[in-house]
Amino acid sequence: MRKPIIIGNWKMNKTINETLAFLSQVDQQCSNLQVEAGIGVPFLSLQQAQKNANNLIIAAQNCHYEDNGAFSGEISIAMLKEIAITHVIIGHSERREMFNETDQTVNLKVKKLLANNMIPIICCGETLTQYENNETNQVVESQIEKALQDISANNVEKVIIAYEPIWAIGTGKTATAQIVENVCNIIRTKISQIYDQNTAQMVRIQYGGSVKPDNIKELLSQPNIDGALVGGASLNAESFLGLVK
């Protein structure tokens, strides 16, 4: 059985103090959840958040694929490991669109994280134009194939995929549970074609895009949706608890 996983993607929101205030309100209440839950906080807050979270996973929102070197402004996997970070969001559409993230850099990062026993949360998803042109399946399949290139079946089991149609991110327009289920099924089928049925059944696939306390239940009741990656609705303590409880 795949345990659902709900991660808040905070993007460039909240200072360290604001993060600690959130954790003091929320972390204790997350001790006996039926899902895994966590927050993806800005790099600067990771260390203190990690120290103050007993129940929530503290995730990073990016990393570099090189071990070290002349990459001003970047953060290495060793730096994240040293502060016990285990999960890293990779290839979010905002990073693809605004910070030159490509399928190739996504693959390099995923490989490096897995080699370090860390868990990549790999984002994929189509633009509005691609959606309107019925290109969703093709776009997402290609993103998944490229992200998983040269990754063994043993390793791919640990990966989390986040299907996030770009037209649903921060727009208030959630894709219907049926649309999401269809695409998550396409993703799982693709994984079973690259690897095998058993492997595909192990991989958790989240949905992201305007997930809120009032629509999460229907989304998570679908057979191929194993959790959510949540932006806006994860920033407020009450709303976050409404998502994970």
Under the binding rule (CB under 6 A), the answer on residue 5 touching ligand PGA is: no
164 counts as catalytic: yes
Contact by Cβ (8 Å): 40, 57: no
Under the binding rule (CB under 6 A), the answer on residue 208 touching ligand PGA is: yes
Q: Which is nearer to ligand PGA, 116 or 239 (CB)?
A: 239
The CB-of-45 to ligand PGA minimum distance in angstroms stands at 17
Tokens 């609705």 — which residue?
A: 233
Under the binding rule (CB under 6 A), the answer on residue 125 touching ligand PGA is: no
Residue 207's nearest CA partner among 150, 147, 134, 140 is 140
Residue 89's nearest CA partner among 3, 161, 2 is 161
Contacting range for ligand PGA; rule: CB under 6 A; set: 50-58, 68-76, 130-138, 231-239: 231-239
Q: Which residues, 15 to 44, sit near ligand PGA by CB under 6 A?
A: none
DSSP letters along 149-167, please? TT--HHHHTT-EEEE--GG
CA dist., res. 136 & res. 146, Å (int): 16
92 counts as catalytic: yes
Under the binding rule (CB under 6 A), the answer on residue 120 touching ligand PGA is: no
Under the binding rule (CB under 6 A), the answer on residue 230 touching ligand PGA is: yes
Q: Which of 36, 64, 87, 92 is catalytic?
A: 92
Instruction: Please give the torsion angle defined by the CA atoms of residues 147, 167, 129 and 188, in that order, rounded to the nearest 10 degrees.
Output: 40
The CB-of-190 to ligand PGA minimum distance in angstroms stands at 21
Burial of 163 (0-12, 13-18, 19+ CB in 10 A): buried
b/e 90-127 (16+ beta carbons within 10 angstroms → b): bbbbbbbeeeebebebbbbbbbbbbeeebbbbbbbbbb
Residue nearest to ligand PGA (CB): 231
Under the binding rule (CB under 6 A), the answer on residue 9 touching ligand PGA is: yes
Under the binding rule (CB under 6 A), the answer on residue 8 touching ligand PGA is: no
Q: Which of 159, 232, 240, 244 touches ligand PGA by CB under 6 A?
A: 232
Q: Which of 60, 122, 147, 169 touches ligand PGA by CB under 6 A?
A: 169
Q: Which of 4, 42, 91, 231 touches ligand PGA by CB under 6 A?
A: 231
Interacting residues toward ligand PGA by CB under 6 A: 9, 164, 169-170, 208-211, 229-233
Enumerate the active-site residues.
Answer: 92, 164
